[in-house]
C-alpha cells in the first residue's frame, strides 16, 4: 500500500487528508521534513503560497522536498501547491521548487471572477469532473515533458510530469475522487517496483551520496 502524506503547514490539508481516507488510505499529516523519508506520495495543498514559503523557513524544506522527489516520491500540488512545484512563478516572482517544468502566474483570473466552479473533462477518458477554482493560478508555459491531463477551454488545469501531478483547482472540495485515485496509483507504482527509484528519470541527477543511500534502501 502506498504511504500518502499531506503537507500540513497551512491551507486545506485536512480536507485533502479526509479525501484520501475515504478511499481507505492512512494519511500522515506532514509538519516536519523527517517523515518525508517514509512516504510514497505527498500532497501539497492549496492555501497561500507566500505564507507557505514563510512557514517553510523553519526547516530546510526545499532541500528535503527535492531529495524526496529525486528518490522517486510522488507529489501532487493543488493551487498554491502547484505554484510551489513550478519552475518559475509570476505575479509576482517568488521562489519555487522547480520540480515541474512550468511557468505559472498567480491569481491569474482577476478579481471579477476570482473564484468559480465549473465542469472539466479529463483528456484521456473524457470523464467529467467538477473543478473549484479559488484565486487560482494559470499555467502560462509548459515544458515538453509536461503532459496536459485536463483543460478549461484551451487552458491546461491539470498536468503531469513523471511523478509530479499539479492542478490549479481544488479536488479536495468536491466529492469526486478520480484524482485522488490517480495519485494513489502514481505513488503505488513506486511501491510495486520495490521503491526502485532508478526507474525514475530524475534519479539520474541524484548526487553520489544520495545514490549510495538509495542503494542501501533498495538492498535492505
* Active site amino acids: 79, 170, 172
Binding status of residue 10 toward ligand GLN by CB under 6 A: no
Report the distance separating Cα 81 and Cα 172, nearest Å.
13
In the bound state with ligand GLN, the residue whose beta carbon lies nearer, of 2 and 7, is: 7
Binding status of residue 186 toward ligand GLN by CB under 6 A: no
Binding status of residue 90 toward ligand GLN by CB under 6 A: no
- Give the one residue of 4, 44, 100, 134 binding ligand GLN; rule: CB under 6 A: 134
**Interface characters, 31-70, with ligand GLN (x: CB under 6 A):** ---------------xxxx---------------------
Q: What is the dihedral of CA 122, 128, 134, 140, to 10 degrees?
A: 30
Sign of the torsion angle spanned by Cα atoms 190, 193, 197, 200: negative
Q: What angle do CA 80, 66, 11 make, to 5 degrees?
A: 25
* Smallest separation (angstroms) from ligand GLN to the CB of 168: 9
Q: How far is CA 16 from the centre of its chain?
A: 12
* Smallest separation (angstroms) from ligand GLN to the CB of 49: 3
Residues engaged in binding ligand GLN (CB under 6 A): 46-49, 79-80, 83, 106-107, 134-135, 137
Amino acid at each position: 500500500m502506498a504511504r500518502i502524506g499531506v503537507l500540513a503547514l497551512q491551507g486545506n490539508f485536512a480536507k485533502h487528508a479526509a479525501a484520501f481516507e475515504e478511499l481507505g488510505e492512512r494519511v500522515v499529516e506532514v509538519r516536519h521534513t523527517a517523515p518525508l523519508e517514509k512516504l510514497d506520495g505527498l500532497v501539497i495543498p492549496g492555501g497561500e503560497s507566500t505564507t507557505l514559503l514563510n512557514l517553510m523557513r523553519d526547516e530546510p524544506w526545499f532541500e528535503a522536498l527535492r531529495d524526496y522527489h529525486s528518490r522517486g516520491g510522488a507529489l501532487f500540488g493543488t493551487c498554491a501547491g502547484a505554484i510551489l512545484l513550478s519552475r518559475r512563478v509570476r505575479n509576482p516572482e517568488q521562489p519555487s521548487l522547480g520540480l515541474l517544468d512550468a511557468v505559472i502566474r498567480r491569481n491569474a483570473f482577476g478579481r471579477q471572477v476570482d473564484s468559480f466552479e465549473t465542469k472539466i473533462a479529463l483528456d484521456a477518458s473524457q470523464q467529467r469532473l467538477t473543478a473549484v477554482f479559488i484565486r487560482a493560478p494559470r499555467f502560462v508555459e509548459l515544458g515538453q515533458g509536461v503532459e496536459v491531463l485536463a483543460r478549461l477551454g484551451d487552458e491546461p488545469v491539470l498536468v503531469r510530469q513523471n511523478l509530479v501531478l499539479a492542478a490549479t483547482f481544488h479536488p479536495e472540495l468536491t466529492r469526486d475522487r478520480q484524482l485522488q485515485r490517480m495519485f494513489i496509483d502514481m505513488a503505488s507504482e513506486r511501491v510495486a517496483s520495490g521503491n526502485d527509484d532508478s526507474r525514475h528519470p530524475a534519479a539520474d541527477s541524484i548526487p553520489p551520496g544520495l545514490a549510495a543511500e538509495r542503494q542501501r534502501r533498495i538492498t535492505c
